[in-house]
Structure 1
Amino acid sequence: MPAGDQVSLSHLASITRIVEADGESALHKSVHQVLVRMLETSILAHPRISRLIDVWEGIAGTANERIAGHLHQILNHEPDEKLVRHVFRCVSSTAALRGRQTGNHSHFFDDVIDRIVRSRKDGDKSLRCECCGYQFRNRDVKTERYTKIVESGFELERSLFPGRSGDPYKPIDRGNGMTWTQLTIDHVIPEETLGWSDPDNLEVLCMFCNLGKLAYRRPLEGLSSFAVGALAEVPSNRKWGQLKHQVVVAALSALGGTCSQCAKTKSDVELTVRPLLPKDGSINGFLPWNLKSVCYICLANEGDELPQLPSAEGLEDTIGVSSLESTLGHDTE
């Protein structure tokens, strides 16, 4: 579709259904998540919805009815109650109201810790990142949060788990005396995309996972960024950067928080990623679906030798150079 052409919601919805029905690979899921996000943001950005933010204080009592009515006109059918509730929460969130009041979610820290306490296993005293399972140390926690953590029965680690300090895919040092292991509170649905600041939309993350997910709501949503991220290890000695960072965090999130070898979860172990050797004809590169999640215990047991990717020398043209050039239209010349 040429740039500048209008894309209807019904058109997006039909493409989404086709992609969903066509396959269940990670690439299908990624395209599907991009399309779902486009549908969601198109609804939230629609003038009928976005203008409610400016008059919210005067319509709060009838907001659900107004939103349902607007969605009916936008979608041309009766909206699902879950969609109405989601739009309500986004529009009423502190992010939507930031023009008149500054969003602040740090004071929800105690409530988030209480939620984790209610859901943790009996006897489990570890406080972990809810994305990768990193077990927080004393030095990762701000002084004002330490008391709440200890009073809630958590025991903080004194040192890093063996194997983490030398992991090329999860660095520790951020520079200027800062680390990637700092404990943070972050939005599940990002505040930048109208996520609300309530305990049910907040989670405990290490700084690595927090800053790696950017403004994505779903783990494989940033498909275009991941396509570029395929070059994150080209050349092989490239330094750590944002390309590699976002791919690692997306993979950790998308792979379900489970070690691919021992099946332990992020509630019990810290997870990292390692490359999968490409199969004949598969898409190469540092991409979320070319990585596996694995815990440091399994890496220690197997010696943690990074797989050597095949060199370009002698590789067969499995995708067909002529057809690829035709598809790209020689736009790199």
Structure 2
Amino acid sequence: MIRPALPQQQTAFSRRFCVAPMMDWTTPHYRYLARLISRHTLLYTEMVTTGALIHGDSDRFLHHDPEEYPLALQLGGSNPGELAQCARLAEERGFDEVNLNVGCPSDRVQNNMIGACLMGHPALVAECVNEMMTATHLPVTVKHRIGINGRESWDELCEFIDTVSATGCRTFIVHARIAILEGLSPKENREIPPLKYDWVYRLKERYPHLEIIINGGIKTLDECQAHLEHTDGVMVGREAYHNPWLLADVDPQLFGAQKPIATRHDALRQMLPYIESELARGVHLGYITRHLLGLFHGCTGGRQFRRYISENAHRRGAGLEVLEQALALVPESLDSAALST
């Protein structure tokens, strides 16, 4: 198949630091906040299945604000033609990357041949990636585990990388655990299988021409710095959601750039016009504010901030006044003083 004409240049971006795709968490509301705090972090959508895009409300699933760029769309699926169709949609809607999920271990996605179970079918993954690459000029990347139960050897991991990279795919985001497909919940699969960061380091040594991004259990920027001595990039998940102010030091520490915003108070105030526009679209305040609860994590008044929002954001007619009143519960002087520490 002849590839389409090269579209207008996409946003320039780096995968040196990424926030992982997380179901129900990396929504447009969280991503808007994250982008205010860090300009250079690469953000990912929640996983969207090909069926949802092709047969469902694609406008709802692909909705995002241009302020979120750079932004990658993560797809779940195993039908090459359907994935190609969705990759074209990603390009049409302005995303900067399309990523194939080969790491989710839940029973629900396994039953639809989505996620980590695809590690047992490297040739199929390669076919999917090839069709996606043919359909779009966006970079096509793969997020996967280091293995699954029954296919957890180093040689089998290398077979997977060899097979998929033969398509021309050059970016692999590697969760440094195997996935156990029977008997463990998704939460347990994030905690019980041991982390093997050294395997990801070895991948970079074996495949220096590929871009290898490490993921799994990473919580601090100091840990990120250590991993970056061995890999091309780091992807952080749950910590970046529960403590979004972690992102405030990403630009200066990992990209040599200035912080785009000074304080948590400033971040929330700058988000108010966006929230107001979302309310005007008919979005309930509580759907937005549940992604903001971690903003004052570890701060004096942070617990009161979370409680006030949790108790009031879901009330009928709740608006910006809920956030303004919650914000008043956190001493701004302490937030500003943190800049000098």
Same fold (TM over 0.5): no
* Larger strand proportion of the pair: 2
What TM-score results when the alignment is normalised by the length of structure 1?
0.30
What TM-score results when the alignment is normalised by the length of structure 2?
0.29
